[in-house]
Amino acid sequence: MKNIELQSILNRCVEKTASFQDFLTLIGLTNKDDLSALYQAAYQVKVNEVGNFVRLRGIIEFSNICNKDCLYCGIRKSNASFERFKMSKDEVLQSAEWAYEMNYGSVLLQAGERVDDEFIDFVEDCVKEIKLLSDNKLGITLSLGEQSRDTYARWFAAGAHRYLLRIETSNEELYKSLHPNDHSFDNRKKCLGWLRDAGYQVGTGVMIGFPRQSDEDLINDIMFFKEQDVDMIGMGPYIEHPDTPMSNSFLEYDAKKQHTLALKMIACTRLAMPNINIAASTALQALDQTGREKGLLAGANVIMPNLTDTKYRDKYKLYDGKPCLDENASQCRLCLEGRVAKIGEKIIYNEWGDSPHFKQRQKHKRD
Ligand code: 5AD
Ligand code: FES
């Protein structure tokens, strides 16, 4: 595309006057120089709005027992080809304590989706005890799927303050193609509202590049993020898992193309929502050795180093080729520090790392 045309689209993005069509043009870019220009523009917006800093969320994947049956996901209920596990409370707390000692600032508790009382109590206890062991200093994000309004409120009262619930796609028809009939798009959307009402910083996100999803769908996803006024985004490329109904649904799976599409989506989201937190997801690294660094250079500012004990890691495979299965938490920490330093970014320790967007929202509420 002509350099001058691309520059004027990027300028409109920075000036916040870009149209749907402008974003559609950006997500469709294929030329190497055009892509570099897009990533650089998004990176510049990131540096201006949130700095050249990386925020860490140490992720603890504490159980792979799941009551959902999403057609793309490796730990779906119907996949009987691997062993299910759940960590004890002590194991969860040990991981959190390690994150606290390493000055991570924040942890993310993630697991398969369950709504039974035992599970709800377990999470509530873990949250309370992590707050105690860290003298209230460790931030806690939850990513535990669709729950009742009451459960969200209980976990918030226990001390969790951020919640990540991906909408997966904002296109209801496509949502149906990804899920069995008893999974509801409306309920998922309702949950995002309940989370906001409960006081959480709310995050959502989508899978990028799954079958039948168009560029228009992706830009609509960004419009959905804006409409929901979310504080953070966690999204990554769709990657096939062999033991799911959706495996082999591509005629030809092109890892490089998937990866580039995910980077373009990160860049466009940063341009559309300059002051939110955007994660460079682990799935980015599954497709490209330096995928997460590329994510940071395209506008992301959060990384989620894995704290899960190696004995459980290979049992938490949502998609094929998940990286870091043999590395323990200390190895991941050193590796990440090196990776981040190499690209001239700086990890911020000992802070929750709330997005400026959230802080602004709080201020508006007070004023
Ligand atoms: N490819 C990429 N992401 C996936 N997830 C689940 N399965 C896959 C897959 N095959 C993502 C979903 C979910 C999150 C926990 O993991 O977006 O919300
Ligand atoms: Fe885990 Fe590099 S991030 S080994």
The domain spans of the chain are 53-366
- This prediction's pTM: 0.95
| Cα–Cα dist 57/95, whole Å | 12
User: May I ask the CATH class of domain 53-366?
Assistant: alpha beta
Give the closest residue (by CA) to ligand 1 atom 7: 73
142 neighbors 111 (Cβ within 8 angstroms) = no
Closest ligand 2 atom, residue 335 Cα? 2
User: What integer pLDDT is reported at residue 310 of this predicted model?
Assistant: 83
32 neighbors 261 (Cβ within 8 angstroms) = no
User: What integer pLDDT is reported at residue 169 of this predicted model?
Assistant: 98
pLDDT tens per residue, range 273-320: 999 999 999 899 999 999 999 999 999 999 998 888 888 888 888 888
- Residue 315's Cβ-side half-sphere holds a number of Cα atoms within 13 Å equal to 21
Q: Measuring CA to CA, which residue among 210, 144, 222 is closest to residue 177?
A: 210
pLDDT tens per residue, range 201-233: 999 999 999 999 999 999 999 999 999 999 999
Give the closest residue (by CA) to ligand 1 atom 13: 166
Closest ligand 1 atom, residue 318 Cα? 7
Q: Measuring CA to CA, which residue among 59, 85, 92 is closest to residue 306?
A: 59
Tokens representing 259?
């990866």
User: What integer pLDDT is reported at residue 2 of this predicted model?
Assistant: 80
Tokens representing 1?
């595309």
| Cα–Cα dist 101/319, whole Å | 31
> Within the chain, which residues score under 70 in pLDDT?
251
